[in-house]
Amino acid sequence: MVSFVVSPMKLVSLGVMLIGTILSVSSEELVGVWLGLELNLYGFLVIMNPDGHYSPEPCVKYFVVQSTGSILMLVGFVSLMEQHVVSGLVMSTAGTVLKSGVFPLHSWVPSIIKNSSWLASGLMLTWQKVAPLVFLSMILPSKSLWVVIVSMAGIGAVGGLNQNSVRVMSAYSSFVHTSWMLLGLTWSSVVFVGYFAVYSLSVGLFFYGCSLMNKMSMGSQLSSAASGMGLLMLMGMPPFLGFLAKVLVFLMSGSPVIVACIMGSVISLKFYIDFFYSMVMKSLVDKNKVEVKAIWSLVICMNIMGGALILVSFI
């Protein structure tokens, strides 16, 4: 059994982080967007290292990167208020791109993810992207956004090929999924929310299974099932929800940029499959094969039922 202890500080910090993102996304004023991002940053910094057990290096790096992005955004917002449109848009875009960790200011993401905790890494790859990506889709022209999408798909696919670290591999994988989310966001916010929910669930299950493998034996059925299901969903293999999420973006998108996203996903299958066989499949070889089969049957049934519910909601 694994015991979970949640301190009041973590709960408060998590609440501040959630409120900050909601405020930033829902605000109609530039000041509200900036304030929400700052609240989100301060809440997340506590979650990165609440007890001081982890190395302070990723926390310091993340603070420097996000603070630089906040300064650029603030200067850009002030310039926009003073009617300096061109310089304001340039500074605001640069700050948003840096905070969201997308091309061309993406290189900080793998290095910080590599040394962070599983919880911090998972949140950094999912929830922390919401507000910057939404704002970026609003201020960036369509052609520039397409360049970002194509670049993220290519960098994520190629960069993750020879990675040995699970966290670094997940960081490059997030680049590919970010390209899908940005493409979905340009056409429909509903599709973006659906893809983001599936991606967040996939990362959460995958990282949860990996964290259990650090605490238990490699033969644990629970850790194997969680990480295996999360990985298959990240791969986008049918009948898992990750495949359906990509199909929804494909059906809604009318842009040729979708070809780059598909190619990025196909190339990234290589390191997904390598990791799946090296880590998950080996841990499934144990004596309780009946119990393992039951777990995986339940996993597949849950994905099929979830996919059916999503399809019904869009009909």
Region of poorest pLDDT, from 100-109, 115-124, 246-255, 299-308: 299-308
Q: In which band, very low, low, confident or very high, does the pLDDT at 219 lie, cut at 50, 70 and 90? A: very low
Give the count of beta carbons closer than 10 Å to the beta carbon of residue 23. 18
Which pLDDT value is given to residue 110?
92
Question: Whose structure tokens read 């940029």?
Answer: 257
Q: Taking all residues of the chain, what is their mean pLDDT, rounded to a whole number? A: 82
Lowest mean pLDDT among 161-175, 251-265, 294-308: 294-308
CA distance 249 to 262: 11
Q: How high is the pLDDT of residue 18?
A: 92
- Which stretches of the chain are DSSP H helices? 8-26, 30-48, 56-81, 85-100, 108-114, 118-125, 130-139, 142-159, 166-187, 189-215, 221-235, 241-252, 258-275, 282-283, 289-314
Compute the distance between CA of residue 152 and CA of residue 178 in angstroms, rounded to an integer: 7
Q: Is residue 307 over pLDDT 60? A: no
Distances (CA, A) of 169 to 121, 122, 215, 242: 12, 13, 21, 17
Which candidate, 222, 242, 87, 80, places its Cα nearest to that of 176? 242
* Mean pLDDT within 150-157: 92
Q: How far is CA 41 from CA 23, 128, 134, in A?
A: 13, 9, 16
State how far Cα 226 lies from the chain centre.
Answer: 17
